[in-house]
Structures are given as structure tokens and as C-alpha cells.
């Protein structure tokens, strides 16, 4: 009986490890997406600043 319990515990631990890995992968994807978004947002901000300067000249 105890042998079965130990095997079940091992399977549960392996399942938990897989879940943790999935969460880590999602977190990495989210962090990369945020960095990409921030980078593109900065580009847009600088373009709008340039556009504003050009408009002020006319």
C-alpha cells in the first residue's frame, strides 16, 4: 500500500514540475512581449515628438 502512495506522490511531483515549467515559459513569453512593446512604444513616442517639431515649424 505504501509503495502505491509513494508512486502517486512521485507522479504528483512530476506533474507539479511540469506545471511550474509551463508557467515559467508563459512568464518568459510575457516578459519578452512587454519588452518588445516598450521598445516599440519608445519608437512611436520619438516619432510623435519629431512630428510635433515639424508641425511647429509650419
pLDDT digits (tens, 9 = 90+) for 26-45: 999 999 999 999 999 999 99
pLDDT confidence tier of residue 23, bands split at 50, 70 and 90 = very high
pLDDT at 49: 94
Q: What percent of the chain has pLDDT over 90?
A: 84
Q: How far is residue 29's CA from residue 36's CA, in Å, rounded to a whole number?
A: 10
Q: With 70 as the cut, is the pLDDT of residue 4 above it?
A: yes
Q: Which triple of cell numbers denotes residue 29?
A: 513569453
Average pLDDT, the chain: 93
Domain boundaries, the chain: 28-53
DSSP assignment of the chain: -HHHHHHHHHHHHHHHHHHHHHHHHHHHHHHHHHHHHHHHHHHHHHHHHHHHHHHHH-
Amino acid at each position: 500500500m505504501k509503495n502505491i502512495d509513494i508512486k502517486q506522490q512521485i507522479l504528483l511531483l512530476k506533474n507539479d514540475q511540469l506545471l511550474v515549467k509551463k508557467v515559467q515559459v508563459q512568464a518568459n513569453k510575457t516578459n519578452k512581449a512587454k519588452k518588445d512593446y516598450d521598445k516599440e512604444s519608445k519608437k512611436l513616442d520619438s516619432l510623435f515628438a519629431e512630428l510635433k517639431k515639424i508641425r511647429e515649424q509650419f
